[in-house]
Amino acid sequence: MVSIIVLLDNKKRVHDQSVSYINISNNKVCVITALDSHKNIYSRAVGTGRMNAMDMENYIGKILNKNRQAISRPKSFFALFFKRKKIREINKYLDNSSEAVKYRCDCMEWMYRFRGVATKYLNNYLSLFKLLKNGNFNNILSAINKFIEAISKINMENTYINMRNAEICFN
């Protein structure tokens, strides 16, 4: 099963307001997050402004398998995309207990600490978050520190090896 969540922005929306009335400007980045039944996550920045069915096809059409079902937020381009791809849509509302919604909320909270991320590097941040999340780190802040420490050790070991090689060359 694939559940698809689209992050258009982190503004709070008014209940009972249809998507067509929500002002989505072209300077807001759209991030699509897909989660399968094995809890494999696909998260990618797909562009700015509103999405359409062709955007969906370009970004997740290639990764869908044959036995396809989908749960999504009620948006018309999802319905059109599912119809074109012959994907059975399950009429189930994605509540806040959904794994994909939890992932999205955790990701937005994690990104908030950077006080803004350049669109150019957004996919790198999404990949780093996925790495940290897949590592089952309970505290992402300590996980980041461990990650940076591990990278530093690798760099120090490489520097040490290079210095030893240089000493051998000078002898």
Biggest CA pair distance of the chain: 77
Structure-token pair, residue 123: 């996919």
Range of the domain at 94: 2-118
Structural domain includes residue 165: no
Q: How confident is the model at residue 22 (pLDDT cuts 50, 70, 90)?
A: very low
Structural domain includes residue 168: no
* pLDDT value at residue 18: 44
* pLDDT value at residue 162: 65
Structural domain includes residue 159: no
Q: How many domains does the chain have?
A: 1
Is residue 155 predicted with pLDDT exceeding 60?
Answer: yes
Of all residues in the chain, what percent carry a pLDDT higher than 70? 54
| Residue 27: DSSP 8-state | T
* pLDDT value at residue 136: 64
CA–CA gap between residue 110 and residue 143 (Å, rounded)? 12
- Asked if residue 32 lies in contact with residue 48, where contact means CB atoms within 8 angstroms, the answer is no
Structural domain includes residue 131: no
8 CB-side CA count, 13 A: 15
* pLDDT value at residue 62: 75
* pLDDT value at residue 110: 76
- Asked if residue 125 lies in contact with residue 29, where contact means CB atoms within 8 angstroms, the answer is no
CA–CA gap between residue 147 and residue 111 (Å, rounded)? 17
pLDDT digits (tens, 9 = 90+) for 90-104: 666 655 556 777 777
Structural domain includes residue 21: yes
60, 47, 12, 36: which is closest to 119 by C-alpha?
47
57, 65, 68: which is closest to 90 by C-alpha?
68
Structural domain includes residue 57: yes
Is residue 124 predicted with pLDDT exceeding 80?
Answer: yes
* pLDDT value at residue 160: 67
Is residue 127 predicted with pLDDT exceeding 80?
Answer: yes
Q: Tell me what the mean pLDDT of segment 93-120 comes to.
A: 72
Structural domain includes residue 13: yes
Structural domain includes residue 22: yes
Total-model pTM: 0.57
The CA angle 137-139-141, to the nearest 5 degrees, is: 110
pLDDT digits (tens, 9 = 90+) for 27-64: 677 777 777 777 777 788 777 777 777 777 777 777 77
Residue scoring higher pLDDT (107 or 2): 107
CA–CA gap between residue 101 and residue 86 (Å, rounded)? 24
Check which CATH number belongs to the domain holding 30 and give it: 3.30.420
CA–CA gap between residue 48 and residue 45 (Å, rounded)? 9
Element (H, E) at 156: helix 140-170
* pLDDT value at residue 27: 64
φ, ψ for residue 46 (rounded to 5)? -115, 0
